[in-house]
Amino acid sequence: MTDVTQVNEKISIERQGDIALIIIDNPPVNATGQVVRQGLQDAITRLNEEGTAKVIAIYAEGRTFVAGADITEFGKPPQPPALPDVYNIIEASQIPVISVMHGTALGGGFELGMATHARIGIKGLRVGLPEILLGLLPGAGGTQRLPRIAGIPFTLDMALSGRQVKAEEALEKGVIDRLVDTTPREAALQAAQDVLDGKLATRRTSELQVERDDKALEDTAAKLKAKQAHLFSPHKVVEAVAASSLPLTEGLKIERQAFLDSMQTPQRAGLIHAFFGERAVSGIPEAKGDSREINKIGVIGGGTMGSGIATSCLLAGIPVRLVEVAQEGLDRGVATITKNLEGAVKRGKMTAEQKDAALKMLEPSLGLEVLSDVDLVIEAVFEQMDVKKDIFGKLNTICKEGAILASNTSYLDVNEIADSTDRPQDVLGLHFFSPAHVMRLLEIVQGAKTAPDVLATGFALAKRLKKVGVLAQVCDGFIGNRILAHYSKTASYLVLDGASPQQVDDALEGFGFAMGPHKVGDLAGLDIGWMTRKRKAATRDPNERYAGDVADKICENGWFGRKAGQGYYIYGDAAPEPNPEVAKIIDAVRAEKGITPRTFTDAEIVDRYMTAMIVEATRVVEDGTAKRPVDVDMVFLFGYGFPRFRGGPLHYADTIGAKELVARITEYAKEDANYWQVPPLLQKMADEGTTFADLNKGA
């Protein structure tokens, strides 16, 4: 006979003879919110006071064991009991406690397991310490107990990478005692019985000895100092793990302090904004409606973009028909896709067999006619309206009814493209970022007539491709490239007025960008920007200060960047060096324009660059191109290498405040009132004392 007691709404105790099961039920991911913490503490205390059970087994209902602390509580006043205290009570239990973990036991969830006296993994389990990805560190004993269980180097690896360790590796490292293939409940009952029968050993983690490894600690600290000096919590991880050779209570105190210090940093706030933002972009009604079934995709164009898109689809297991006009282009496309997939094998993303299977799903073909049976076409040809309209006109007659017709255009008018068909409701923009099989951003561009289920299919596809789909409305450049077109001028103005390209790059890399804008330009090819400037020359605002003088002259020499061996920098076997010829060009342009160069501090460079980015980002929200500030933030995190720990341009804007931003823009406007204008929305926010976070909440 079973005997179930509800400790509170999330925790229950079930008695089966000498066995007590503690069951956690807090969907969706069994996070250790206050009610769970309280319930666990009460359950263990009650069972120890009663003293009738001889073994306790903890497991969780639902799709996963505990996925960690409840992140929504972070940044709010802490509610007792604190997680480390609950786990200390579990570890101190007089009755042996075992845990059965399934799904993803992460952060505070994995630490719960570590506080128990034996751990069982269910097949498919992954354990991890992802706190570092949130600007934190394990704060419930992980930095103290894992070294005792699996050693200091493994703890540093897990806590600094945040990687999820597969069950097999966890078993090999002694992190779990057993790996079984059954339900958590069955495993809990079986393991508990085995403890009673003396077939499964239990022990307190605090009683295990840590094998000291000062070299691993020193090497890691030095590496972090060199590579991640600007981050806070990684250094704290090393400090806390170093304390694991102290008695557990002392080590836990050091860990706790490091955790609380990390919690106070803007980096933690930025990273948690990124965590929820990644999920919020697809949490909108447009993403959630009925979608159309996609079983086969046609990709038009075997260039870098088309091949990347095709690779991305194949990686997700979706058959692709790749179309080109000439055999040569088709062969090049197939070769690129093969190379991309081989790269995925090298990076451990797939096995060689999986690569071969993926390539079997690729059907290279000549001519659009073969697209009559695909469910979705993604056009990725040259950015020319006439060419696109011609293709869409043909697709209109070739494709089956209900097929979705998407353009990967980065700036052209999706409505004009849609109107070249009789079915504009089936047309949308799917703007991938290069390399398309790596970059996670997908701008989903809604045309004026795009049907709701077509839009929802765009989001469903993003999910299948493991991408972050963000809704954008039609305009030149959509969300990302439109903002980029504006702020990248600032980098050029800074150079014209006195900074060197290298100083601008260094300052922005110091801010956290992986690469400064001139290095990015060299990598992408300076000819791309040159073409865009030529395209826009006829429609350029005559009052606008021209930003392209230096870049145009570099391009006139054919120095298109990395692929040409030189651009802003010179490339060879050694690390890139600033190009002395570019310095001469800059001097000449300054002289020609009568500019007396001035000095800029790195801080001013960052302020100007970021303010320009925020200005256009605000306008994009103001005119509805992006639905909310968080959508802009995710575009920049997943498509433009924006430092994740800063949360995105508009999350970062809140750390400055609208008032200060308006003051800065007003000051800069004294030099160039055309470029530096205060967006009305930002002025309103400054007047009312509101933030972009308020706008995200719909305030």
The H or E element spanning position 529 is helix 526-536
Cβ–Cβ < 8 Å for 292, 404: yes
Q: Candidates 83, 344, 427, 554: give the one binding ligand CAA (CB under 6 A).
A: 83
CB of 183 to ligand CAA, least distance (A): 19
Instruction: Choose the binding region for ligand CAA from 67-75, 188-196, 357-365, 609-617 (rule: CB under 6 A).
Output: 67-75
Cβ–Cβ < 8 Å for 503, 599: no
CB of 26 to ligand CAA, least distance (A): 10
- 105 or 445, CB closer to ligand CAA? 105
Q: Candidates 10, 23, 24, 68: give the one binding ligand CAA (CB under 6 A).
A: 68
CA pair distance 46, 48, nearest whole angstrom: 5
Among positions 519-558, residues that touch ligand CAA (CB under 6 A) are none
- Residue 134 as a binder of ligand CAA (CB under 6 A): the answer is yes
- 260 or 595, CB closer to ligand CAA? 260
CA pair distance 57, 102, nearest whole angstrom: 14
Instruction: Choose the binding region for ligand CAA from 131-139, 238-246, 556-564, 576-584 (rule: CB under 6 A).
Output: 131-139
27 preceded by cis ω (within 30°)?
no
Q: Candidates 52, 72, 655, 674: give the one binding ligand CAA (CB under 6 A).
A: 72
CA pair distance 436, 313, nearest whole angstrom: 10
- 67 or 320, CB closer to ligand CAA? 67
| # chain residues binding ligand CAA, by CB under 6 A | 25
Q: Candidates 106, 305, 377, 496: give the one binding ligand CAA (CB under 6 A).
A: 106
Count of helix runs (H) and strand runs (E) in the chain: 30, 20
Amino acid letter at 261? D
- 265 or 434, CB closer to ligand CAA? 265
Among positions 283-302, residues that touch ligand CAA (CB under 6 A) are 283
- 138 or 517, CB closer to ligand CAA? 138
Q: Candidates 20, 23, 69, 313: give the one binding ligand CAA (CB under 6 A).
A: 69
Residues paired with residue 56 on neighbouring β-strands, in sequence order: 20, 97
CA pair distance 120, 177, nearest whole angstrom: 6
Q: Candidates 39, 96, 107, 147: give the one binding ligand CAA (CB under 6 A).
A: 107
Q: Candidates 38, 104, 155, 502: give the one binding ligand CAA (CB under 6 A).
A: 104
Cβ–Cβ < 8 Å for 417, 407: yes
Q: Candidates 31, 217, 240, 586: give the one binding ligand CAA (CB under 6 A).
A: 31
Cβ–Cβ < 8 Å for 402, 431: no
- 55 or 89, CB closer to ligand CAA? 89
Among positions 47-66, residues that touch ligand CAA (CB under 6 A) are 64
- 134 or 377, CB closer to ligand CAA? 134
- 467 or 664, CB closer to ligand CAA? 467
CA pair distance 391, 71, nearest whole angstrom: 48
CA pair distance 302, 321, nearest whole angstrom: 11
- 107 or 529, CB closer to ligand CAA? 107
Closest CA relative to residue 62, chosen from 33, 114, 102, 16: 102
Closest CA relative to residue 504, chosen from 445, 578, 418: 578
Binding mask 623-662 for ligand CAA (x = CB under 6 A): ----------------------------------------
- 62 or 153, CB closer to ligand CAA? 62
Cβ–Cβ < 8 Å for 521, 551: yes
- What is the Cα 63 distance to its own chain's centre? 23
- 135 or 306, CB closer to ligand CAA? 135
Q: CB burial class (10 A; 0-12, 13-18, 19+) of residue 573?
A: exposed
Q: Candidates 131, 375, 607, 654: give the one binding ligand CAA (CB under 6 A).
A: 131
Cβ–Cβ < 8 Å for 589, 581: no
Closest CA relative to residue 71, chosen from 293, 243, 273: 273
- Residue 127 as a binder of ligand CAA (CB under 6 A): the answer is no
- 171 or 284, CB closer to ligand CAA? 284
Among positions 241-280, residues that touch ligand CAA (CB under 6 A) are 279
**Sign of the alpha-carbon dihedral angle for 154, 160, 166, 170:** positive
CB of 238 to ligand CAA, least distance (A): 16
CB of 112 to ligand CAA, least distance (A): 10
- DSSP result, 179-196: EE-S-HHHHHHHHHHHHH
Residues 6 or more apart whose Cβ sits within 8 Å of residue 169: none
Q: Candidates 121, 135, 139, 648: give the one binding ligand CAA (CB under 6 A).
A: 139
- 125 or 613, CB closer to ligand CAA? 125
Give whole-number Cα distances, 40 to 52, 120, 299, 545, 616, in Å.
18, 19, 53, 64, 49
Q: Candidates 11, 20, 29, 474: give the one binding ligand CAA (CB under 6 A).
A: 29
- 139 or 251, CB closer to ligand CAA? 139
For residue 37, the 8-state DSSP code is H
Q: Candidates 11, 23, 43, 67: give the one binding ligand CAA (CB under 6 A).
A: 67
- Residue 70 as a binder of ligand CAA (CB under 6 A): the answer is yes
Question: Helix or strand or coil: residue 698?
Answer: coil
Instruction: Choose the binding region for ligand CAA from 135-143, 297-305, 311-319, 488-496 (rule: CB under 6 A).
Output: 135-143
Cβ–Cβ < 8 Å for 255, 144: yes
Residues paired with residue 105 on neighbouring β-strands, in sequence order: 127
Closest CA relative to residue 195, chosen from 44, 65, 58, 87: 58
CB of 69 to ligand CAA, least distance (A): 4
Instruction: Choose the binding region for ligand CAA from 127-135, 204-212, 466-474, 635-643 (rule: CB under 6 A).
Output: 127-135
- 68 or 649, CB closer to ligand CAA? 68
For residue 274, the 8-state DSSP code is H
Q: Which two tokens stand for residue 635?
A: 């575009």
Instruction: Choose the binding region for ligand CAA from 49-57, 105-113, 438-446, 554-562 (rule: CB under 6 A).
Output: 105-113
Residues paired with residue 570 on neighbouring β-strands, in sequence order: 566, 577
Considering all CA atoms of the chain, what is the largest pairwise distance in Å, rounded to the nearest integer? 93
CB of 218 to ligand CAA, least distance (A): 25
Q: What's the first-to-final CA gap in the chain, in angstroms?
A: 54
CA pair distance 160, 156, nearest whole angstrom: 6
Q: Which two tokens stand for residue 272?
A: 């948690």
- 67 or 555, CB closer to ligand CAA? 67
CB of 30 to ligand CAA, least distance (A): 9
CB of 327 to ligand CAA, least distance (A): 42
Residues of the shown chain interacting with ligand CAA in the complex, contacts defined by CB under 6 A: 28-29, 31, 64, 67-72, 83, 104, 106-108, 111, 130-131, 134, 136, 138-140, 279, 283
